[in-house]
Structure 1
Amino acid sequence: MASLKDVAKLASVSIMTVSRAINNPQKLRAETYLRVKQAIDELNYVPDFSARKIRGDRTVPPSIGVLALDTATTPFSVELLLSLEKTAQQHGWSTFVINLFSDKEAEVAQEQLLSLRPAGIVFTTMGLRKVQIPEKLQDKPLVLANCITDDMSVASYIPDDFQGQYQATKRLIEKGYRRPLCIYLPENILASGPRRAGLELAWREAGLDVSALKQVHITYGEEHYLDTVKMIAQYLTDAGPDFDVLVCGNDRIAFIAYQYLLSRGLRIPQDVAVLGYDNMVGIGDLFLPGLTTVQLPHLEIGRQAALHIIEQRAGLKVEALPCPLLERASI
């Protein structure tokens, strides 16, 4: 990688002149600046911003360091990172991401993040979960995105899963559905409880019998998504399905359900309606017919987390952000 010294040598100027060309070009003669710029372009020189931060150079934009636990592994979680970066850029800040894929890497990741001297830190995860704040980050400007912690001195921005399922269920009731089969996420998943509670509240408020609901949870583990088929099969009779709408814990469950229902000759939504959750990026519109689902607010979570650092917000509470219903043709 080219250094400041390499640029100075190629441009036949001093190192100080190269530094001025990068930080204060107005102080150089036009022909000198052009010569330095050509050398920079030829060598593909990239200024060392981290070193300049250490020296206290105020021309370097403040940065947000992102400690991302599995966040870069799914498309809809990547939305959070992109939104965070875009928001930072709009306010003249920069961002960098340190990916964390296991607890074994935690110490190295923390050291790497702190060595870059961020003005604030966002700790984010793939899938809503509870985390423990690393000790080295506890006294730093920190905000959580898509995760929570037992430490009440840290602000968190998360999806309002209760509200999302509540509003979606109210819409189902408005459209006349009264015999749902609900296949929820595993009970140990943080989002599962609030979603089930939101559905049950909407059901009670409509004067309907919660005890009559058909409600099951899939078992934890990727291999158990295919159990969706057996769960649906229990409620299919010779006379037709014993439910009028299938409420799915997420779009992956809905994806399996679509294949099975259609293979059994059932029409969506004429015979059975289907409701998903998450709005997986690039997937919802590919269902035939289009899947009605609840949108996880990853874009807004990323934006609010960035603004929390940039605006130096004082709030230290958990902020649950709305999950809107996206109506397509499956309802």
Structure 2
Amino acid sequence: MGNSESASGLCALTKVCLAYRNGELSGNLHYENPHDDVDAVRDGRIEVVHENTPFKRRFAAVNSFSYTGPMAHVLLKGHYKEKIYKKYTANIPYLVNVSSRNETGVHRMFEIVAAMPIDAEYIGLLHNIHKIETPGHTARGFIILGSKLEGKNEKTCVLSKSIQHYKGIKPPVCFMYSGMGSQWCKMGADLMNAPIFSAAIEKCHKVLEPKGVNIVDILTSDDQTIFEDIINCFVGITAVQIGLTDILRALEIVPDCIIGHSTGELGCAYADGGLTLEETILSAYCRGLASKKTEVIRGAMAAVGMGYNDV
């Protein structure tokens, strides 16, 4: 493998792990004849693996000797399990974050994960590696993977990807919670495939059900008129914000600031711990009920998408 100095032991360990997975040892490149002074090789007591050789996945010893100092020895016992790509199934896209010393390295990782079937274990391994801050990795990016049917087979497809140069300054994380008008038909249908999100919606449903409100139906129904009832707007927007906040918490993403507008202020209150889930969704319901039941002079409001200079 060449002299990789302090990393030589890790290289050898990786080679053995690949042999356990593939069932064969990789041959050493450019090996032809042993040195004359290596009697054990010349008389056959030790054999150099010069071509890919079947490996029984039993015990393997890895020795690392280095002129620069690091020395190690490890005895490995093989463990093999068949890769079952469909063991972890999800109907949602997969986000993969990677970093490297340059953009070429990030692009290469993108090519690898996009060319193989979606492997939740492999993606989890990448997450564990790249969640650790690596100062020399100034190229950082993400890729979002999905799957589509081609005939009878599923093929990995790239939904989005981006690479940026990291300047060493951590940008602030801000949670923004939208107000009235951000609702749309079936806005929670795909999100219900995420277990954390669906669990939050189920909790909201138990709170609202005695009020005669079916939040699951509000978020997943294809009824184009469902948001003509203002109560559905308030509870629908707030429930989605609760579910997304729970996902962000599970990912241990902590905001530096939280901003909310109109009913989005309820999402803020939930995000910063000012209100519980039950209090948040009930507040949304009561606000919608008050807007619906209060006898007021009916008016109108227009939202115009114009910038300051245009106005």
TM-score class, shorter-chain normalisation, is under 0.3
Q: Output the TM-score relative to the length of structure 2.
A: 0.28
User: Structure 1-normalised TM-score?
Assistant: 0.27
Structure number with greater Rg is 2
Higher helix proportion: 1
